[in-house]
Homo-oligomer: A and B are copies of this chain.
């Protein structure tokens, strides 16, 4: 049965680590490939390959003895995945759906072609192009590929900012009047069964575009929740998704919902599902790609997830802060065990799951004090 199945993950970061956490529940064998020998996952598998998931040869070699291949990052070699698919391997999400998503411009075009509302944006080939688009400023400039955790995103307020803009293929997006940022995680399997998690409310740090915290359930009118869930399901169907997909959305001040970005893999907007939901997003991904029944996505407890970023305050007094965090009941600390110190990097997260939202919020305040 499952114990003989060989499953591979491209990418070996904390998302892969949490996926292995849940693979243990099903007794699965997981191989991992990451270009960093010290990737968080490397220590949690007997089958780690140190190679670049963007390399055609490396991905092909990695996949040749596997049965099922999935991803924990979008920056992977699609041609190799298509070749593995041809060889009869299950590659989920499908290479085609990863290809559409891994480029933020083709992603947007794809959504538009399926009548899914998005933030308007234009393609930019290089920094020089931006001068022709001065009438579109202020705007948000995003690299088409390989952005993550706020890397690859910047604001262009005036023409003066063009001088320091990315000189790479990008998308220049209109600034929308955002009331809320939310995310919906949706799972879909080969049979076309779909299950959505409830929307979560996301709070970003203004300077760095990094998720600071996120609250589930999102405090939204019922109708808007349903609209967001329906939208996420439409995206999953349009992509013929097999796996899970995080759909990040903006709610504008005039109450429109626009899709901001997609991620066809476990996502930090679903970290809370480990403790707060009946089925975690990680288990759900495994169920989806293995053709097992999708799990119940119901939220069991109100929750708030806080990302832990490396700061000077943290690096100075890490052990003591860590002990203080662990002493808070219902605060579930996830520490990624990354080697070395690099300011600004995500080094962990904490999910507070408790019986009432009031107590969750109070504990979050205590935790923010400890971390800062």
Provide the residues of chain B in CB contact with A28, threshold 8 Å: 337
* Beta-carbon contact of B298 and A335 below 8 Å: no
Query: Assembly of this chain: how many copies?
Result: 2
> Cβ of A296 < 8 Å from any Cβ of B?
yes
* B-binding segment of A129-137, A138-146, A323-331: A323-331
Q: How far is the CB of A30 from chain B (nearest CB, A)?
A: 7
> Cβ of A345 < 8 Å from any Cβ of B?
no
Residues in A308-357 with C-beta less than 8 Å from chain B: 318-319, 322-323, 326-327, 329-330, 332-339, 348
Residues in A135-176 with C-beta less than 8 Å from chain B: none
* Beta-carbon contact of A27 and B337 below 8 Å: yes
Residues in A295-310 with C-beta less than 8 Å from chain B: 295-296, 298, 300-301
* B-binding segment of A18-26, A112-120, A207-215, A220-228: A18-26
> Cβ of A230 < 8 Å from any Cβ of B?
no
Provide the residues of chain B in CB contact with A219, threshold 8 Å: none
* Beta-carbon contact of A43 and B46 below 8 Å: yes
A130 to B48, CA, bound (A): 54
> Cβ of A110 < 8 Å from any Cβ of B?
no
> Cβ of A44 < 8 Å from any Cβ of B?
yes
Provide the residues of chain B in CB contact with A26, threshold 8 Å: 333, 335, 337
- Knowing A44-B24, A335-B26, say if A1 contacts B329 (CB, 8 Å): no
> Cβ of A42 < 8 Å from any Cβ of B?
yes
> Cβ of A121 < 8 Å from any Cβ of B?
no
Contact with B along A5-31 (1 / 0, CB 8 A): 000000000000110110011111110
> Cβ of A370 < 8 Å from any Cβ of B?
no
* Beta-carbon contact of B326 and A293 below 8 Å: yes
* Beta-carbon contact of A18 and B27 below 8 Å: no
> Cβ of A106 < 8 Å from any Cβ of B?
no
* Beta-carbon contact of A24 and B18 below 8 Å: yes
Q: How far is the CB of A313 from chain B (nearest CB, A)?
A: 15
Q: Which bucket holds chain A's interface residue count?
A: 35 or more
* Beta-carbon contact of A3 and B339 below 8 Å: yes
Provide the residues of chain B in CB contact with A327, threshold 8 Å: 293
Provide the residues of chain B in CB contact with A43, threshold 8 Å: 29-30, 45-47
* Beta-carbon contact of B278 and A329 below 8 Å: yes
Provide the residues of chain B in CB contact with A287, threshold 8 Å: 326
* Beta-carbon contact of B295 and A326 below 8 Å: yes
* Beta-carbon contact of A1 and B319 below 8 Å: yes
- Knowing A3-B338, A326-B287, A339-B3, say if A332 contacts B20 (CB, 8 Å): no
Provide the residues of chain B in CB contact with A47, threshold 8 Å: 43
> Cβ of A266 < 8 Å from any Cβ of B?
no
If A21-B24, A21-B25, A25-B333 are given as contacts, then 16 extra A-B residue pairs at C-beta distance below 8 Å, sorted by A number, are A1-B319, A3-B337, A20-B44, A24-B44, A25-B335, A26-B337, A29-B43, A43-B47, A46-B48, A278-B330, A287-B326, A292-B326, A293-B323, A293-B326, A293-B327, A296-B329
